[in-house]
A and B are shown apart, each in its own frame.
Chain A
Amino acid sequence: MDFLPMLIQIFSWVFIVLGSCLMVIGAAGMLRFADFWARLHAASVIESGGMIFLLLGMCLQANDWLIFFKLAFIGLFLFITGPAATHAVAKAALSDQSRKNSTKSAIK
């Protein structure tokens, strides 16, 4: 038995198990936190930690360079757009909050 393929197998196991755990914990956090601003952080565990570990584990299992590059593309794309989408949600929520507050104070 070769040493290197076994090492790759072990690493991909570890990455995929870690990524799966982070996914479930992040989803549980989204259910558990009572406040919207705390839930944003739970969602960012899903979008950075779980995503990166699962894709790394899949990259190690890929037996073709093209598959490896496709996974890298997906990872790079999610790496850039995930924070952008989270930021968009946070900014929209903040402006909505401040708008509501200002209309409330205007009524009072």
Chain B
Amino acid sequence: MFVLATFALLISIILVLLRLYFSQTLFDRVLALNAFGTMAVILIGVVGFLSGRPDFLDIALLYALINFVGTVAVLKYFKYGTIGDSDKQTSKLSG
């Protein structure tokens, strides 16, 4: 059962990476990267079950956190040119 899920996830990861390679715009790539990250989170969990070591789930949880922050950081960087500077532009955003 988990072998099947692993293969399905690997196939879909390859498809999404092809999308990442053949896309033209930035947003396509960010979208594909986000979908890739979600799949990677699930894949880490499935592989943990497959090898009988559920400790992998901690890593999956961490990857989910980093994936979200990474997506938002890339989008913010390309829109405003900064990520966390405390200049006027970013303080205007949070307020």
| Chains A and B touch (C-beta atoms under 8 A apart) | yes
- How many B residues, CB 8 Å from partner? 41
Given A30-B19, A74-B61, also A89-B54 (CB < 8 A): no
Given A21-B8, A74-B60, also A64-B54 (CB < 8 A): yes
Residue of A24, A27, A67 contacting most chain B CB atoms (<10 Å): A27
- Asked if B16 and A27 sit within 8 Å, CB to CB, the answer is yes
- Asked if B38 and A30 sit within 8 Å, CB to CB, the answer is no
Q: CB-CB < 8 A to B45: which residues of A?
A: 55, 58, 71, 74
The reply to whether the CB of A8 lies closer than 8 angstroms to some CB of chain B is no
CA distance A40 to B18 in the complex (A): 16
CA distance A31 to B19 in the complex (A): 6
CA distance A71 to B57 in the complex (A): 7
Given A73-B61, A77-B65, also A43-B1 (CB < 8 A): no
CA distance A40 to B12 in the complex (A): 16
By a beta-carbon cutoff of 8 Å, the part of chain B in contact with chain A is: 1-2, 4-5, 8-9, 11-13, 15-16, 18-19, 25, 27-28, 30-32, 34-35, 38-39, 41-42, 45-46, 49, 54, 57-58, 60-61, 64-65, 68, 71-72, 75, 78-79
By a beta-carbon cutoff of 8 Å, the part of chain A in contact with chain B is: 12-13, 16-17, 19-21, 23-24, 26-28, 30-31, 36, 39-40, 43, 46-47, 50-51, 54-55, 57-58, 61-62, 64, 67, 70-71, 73-74, 77-78, 81-82, 84-86, 88-89, 92-93, 95-96
